[in-house]
Chains A and B, each alone.
Chain A
Amino acid sequence: MTKVLVEDKAIVVPGQVLADGMGFLPAGAAYRDNDKIIALQLGMVNISGRLIKLIPLKGLYVPKINDMILGTVEDITMTGWFVDYGGSKYAMLSGRNYGGRDDGRIDDLSTVLNNGDVISAQVFKVIKNNTVDLTMGGPGLRKLTNGRLITVSPPKVPRIIGKQGSMISMIKDATNCRIIVGQNGIIWIYGPDPEMEIVAIETIQKIEELAHTTGLTDLIKEFLEKRVGKKNVQ
């Protein structure tokens, strides 16, 4: 007989017992300890069928292949760059993965990307010890000039982007800003005027704060209408 000890959509803390018995399977950040299912992280419970899934509310970015991330060039070596993407170590961007060129002829890599340059790049390869290899050979991957960067908690990135990018395109349309959201929680914002950039930042911070609630799209729409003064925020 399995007893579920938490409600659906409840917020739980590490070490909390979610269910007692063998009738359910743990998923996400939950694990099984003998016949109990235990939470491993601060998160929200999602019960569907016979699955108890724990979705982390806060957490750290774990790189996955094909993720688009933003980072800052921190160091230049003979063959590539080291990029700080907010992870536990620097990611490697090899010279040959820059712009998809297999070009050994660049004499000085600092003429291409210098220390402090911000780039958008794609995760090309991850090996077990969390070493990340990046590539810039994809559409839209480039060096970012102008604009400003903000950092949000990585688990909240899906909420900021929204279903099929609905949330982020709403912000883009309302504020006329260009926004790039990296999966690692670093966001680049560049707008026609600083005030609109600030509105975009405030909106994103509001989403981050309220990411675990329902009815977020309507709330953000209302917020944007109030701040931008436009009736047709979509």
Chain B
Amino acid sequence: MYNERFDGRKSDETRPITAKVGIIPNAKGSAMFKIGNTVAMAAVYGPRILYPKFLKSPDKALLRCNYNMMSFSGSGERVRPGSSRRDREISHITEKALEPVLIVDDFPGSVVDVYIELLQTDAGTRCAGICAASMALAHAGFKMRGLVSAISVGVVGGKLVVDLNNQEEHHEEGHTDCPVGMIARTGEITLLQMDGFATPDQIKKMVESAKKACEQIEEIQRKALLEAYEVAK
């Protein structure tokens, strides 16, 4: 039984989070989201002209995300640069997690590019990436129905925990990892994946604790966006 967590956190406690916007002046919007040792950066460009042309949609802009782990980001071995199957999957689910909030009807036939770079990884990268991307989109001035917050919850050694780190993701007594992304205000879920096993009851509890964590994250995201304007004052 996994009673005490490796880093001494409570079962429903996230790792320390810092967030900042406006880190990349060249981009229309940018953000950094750091949760524990996982650091994600996101930059937004566009809406701009879309190539290849067959991807064009006549009624709205396309959201195109690119998730990338830097070659030095892992915990030892060099991450092979370039797109892998895993990168493409995470890029895709990031798009699906952000599309429901983003309103881009004003720019049909164009593309909004979101580049997510992971500088340092210690589990929960897709969630950190989504949090950073949603902040960057808001910072770029896009119309959004809300900010998307994401957190991974899971079952480690039979115990329900929030925000797994890399050590917990490889726990010997079995581990379940379930990234959840949602609009914290309404509780609408935009991302839900799971690796491992869990009972229906556990899944319900996991989503509930994810909602609580997402509410905290949304508050941090909000403050980070406001900070960019308070400093200027």
Contact = CB atoms under 8 A, between A and B. Distances in A.
Given A42-B139, A60-B47, A210-B232, A14 B145 contact: yes
B146 A60 contact: no
A200 to B, nearest CB: 20
**Of B29, B47, B101, which is in contact with the most chain A CB atoms at under 10 Å from its CB?**
B47
Given A130-B110, A213-B233, 18 more contacts: A13-B225, A14-B101, A14-B138, A14-B143, A15-B101, A15-B183, A38-B145, A38-B146, A40-B144, A58-B140, A59-B141, A60-B28, A60-B47, A60-B142, A87-B47, A88-B110, A90-B49, A210-B232
A56 B232 contact: no
Nearest to B111: A88
B109 A40 contact: no
A38 B103 CA distance: 14
**Of A14, A60, A89, A210, which is in contact with the most chain B CB atoms at under 10 Å from its CB?**
A14
B58 A60 contact: no
Interface of A: 11, 13-17, 29, 38, 40-42, 56-60, 62, 87-90, 129-130, 153, 155, 209-210, 212-213
A41 B141 contact: yes
B114 interface: no
A31 to B, nearest CB: 8
B147 A15 contact: yes
Contact of A88 (B107, B146, B225, B229): B107
A11 B185 contact: no
Given A13-B226, A40-B103, A57-B229, A89 B143 contact: no
Given A13-B226, A88-B49, A88-B109, A42 B232 contact: no
Contacts of B144: 14-15, 40-41
B76 to A, nearest CB: 38
B226 A88 contact: no
Interface of B: 28-29, 46-49, 58, 61, 101, 103, 106-110, 138-147, 183, 185, 218, 221-222, 225-226, 229, 232-233
B141 A58 contact: yes
A210 B233 CA distance: 7
Nearest to B233: A213
Nearest to B107: A88
A16 B185 CA distance: 8
A58 B110 CA distance: 19
Given A88-B61, A88-B107, A213-B233, A155 B141 contact: yes
B46 A88 contact: yes
B108 A130 contact: yes
A57 B185 CA distance: 22
B29 A58 contact: yes
Nearest to A17: B185
A6 B218 CA distance: 17
A16 B222 contact: yes
A15 B145 contact: yes
A133 B222 CA distance: 39
A14 B107 contact: no
Contact of A129 (B108, B142, B225, B229): B108
A90 B109 CA distance: 11
Contacts of B232: 209-210, 212-213
Nearest to B224: A13
A62 B106 contact: yes
Contacts of A153: 141
**What 5 pairs between A and B have smallest CB-CB spacing?**
A15-B146, A88-B110, A58-B141, A59-B141, A88-B47
Contact of A29 (B29, B143, B218): B143
Given A57-B229, A212-B232, A213-B233, A40 B145 contact: yes
B58 A89 contact: no
B47 to A, nearest CB: 4
Contacts of B143: 14, 29, 40-41
A14 B229 contact: no
Contacts of B48: 88
Contacts of B61: 88
A58 B141 CA distance: 5
Contacts of A90: 49
A213 to B, nearest CB: 6
